[in-house]
Amino acid sequence: MSDTIILHVARYRPEIETEPTFQEYQTPCRKDWVVLDALNYIKDKVDGTLSYRWSCRMGICGSCGMTVNGEPKLTCAAFLTDYAPGPVRVEPLRNFPIMRDLVIEMSDFMRKLVQVKPWLIRAEEKPLSEGEYLQTPEELDEYKQFSMCINCMLCYAACPVYGLEPHFIGPAALALAQRYNLDSRDQGGRERMELLSDHTGIWGCTFVGECTKACPKSVDPAAAIQRYKLKAALEWFKSFLMPRGTS
């Protein structure tokens, strides 16, 4: 196997060009190197003008999501040898505006995250003297999977609905809402319902299922959304049968 690899890296410098172009770089192809290592090598040794986001290098911070050979990937978890002999095409995440090179603009996602009220909502707070809200392991299991999200936005890049309909709340935010809805300590299900059961919420999702495939943390946002659809439909049916229901 060759000990170098070619990277075709998307560049967008708004001060000199009106649309992205590709630049070719040659980097070492070491067995223990990921695409992010190659980008860091370029930044340090070849071309300091290349811009991209990264932080932890271990799949926790969710900053280094990019499109590698057409697939949304965390570049810290995409080994160069898996793409050998290359070339490897590195682009910014799809479905987001590009600020510069591989850096996307994410304020739309940040806004949507807050919209779903991702915190514990209580009808009435218990006084501190009564102690903490206890939870059994089974109750934890109900939502734990959906709490593993690292906000890397790979699911937004994979979701064609978000690409076509930017008002769609999107996979990660909906899964996060479901994480709190399923939490035994939370009582905010009704408060979230209005936003979530809108056509830009769960009903915007057509169950393409790509978010789940793209997720590096096995969160399965598609499952969270479909389960919520089932619940919303049952709630509607109940209110239809019993218009003056008790709850």
Partner 1 sequence: MNQTPIYTEFHPRWYRRRTSTYWWLRRPSYLAFILRELSSLFVAWFVIFTLVQIQALSQGAEGYQRFQDWSKQPVVLIVNLIALFFVVFHAITWFKLAPQAMVIRLHGKRVPAAWIAGSNYVVWALASALVAWIILGG
Over the window 9 to 38, marking each residue x when it contacts partner 1 by CB under 8 A and - when it does not, the resulting string is ---x-xx---xx------------------
Asked if omega into 160 is within 30° of 0 (cis), the reply is: no
Task: Tell whether residue 210 is a contact of partner 1 (CB under 8 A).
Answer: yes
Q: Which is nearer to partner 1, 27 or 212 (CB)?
A: 212
**CA-to-CA distance for 197 and 218, rounded, in angstroms?**
24
* Nearest in space to 39 (alpha carbons), one of 52, 20, 22, 57: 52
Task: Tell whether residue 164 is a contact of partner 1 (CB under 8 A).
Answer: yes
Task: Tell whether residue 86 is a contact of partner 1 (CB under 8 A).
Answer: no
Minimum gap (Å) between residue 143 Cβ and partner 1: 12
**CA-to-CA distance for 158 and 214, rounded, in angstroms?**
7
Residues touching partner 1, count (CB under 8 A): 34
* Nearest in space to 39 (alpha carbons), one of 1, 62, 70, 8: 8
Q: Which is nearer to partner 1, 20 or 28 (CB)?
A: 20
Q: Which stretch binds partner 1 (CB under 8 A): 91-99, 126-134, 167-175, 196-204?
A: 91-99
3-state secondary structure of 48: coil
Over the window 220 to 239, marking each residue x when it contacts partner 1 by CB under 8 A and - when it does not, the resulting string is x-xx--xx-xx---------
Task: Tell whether residue 151 is a contact of partner 1 (CB under 8 A).
Answer: no
The full DSSP string for 79-123 is BGGGGTT--EEEEPPTTS-EEETTEEP-HHHHHHHHHT--S---S
Cβ count near 183 (within 10 Å) = 22
Binding site for partner 1 (CB under 8 A): 12, 14-15, 19-20, 70, 94-95, 97-100, 105, 107, 110-111, 138, 160, 163-164, 206-210, 212-213, 220, 222-223, 226-227, 229-230
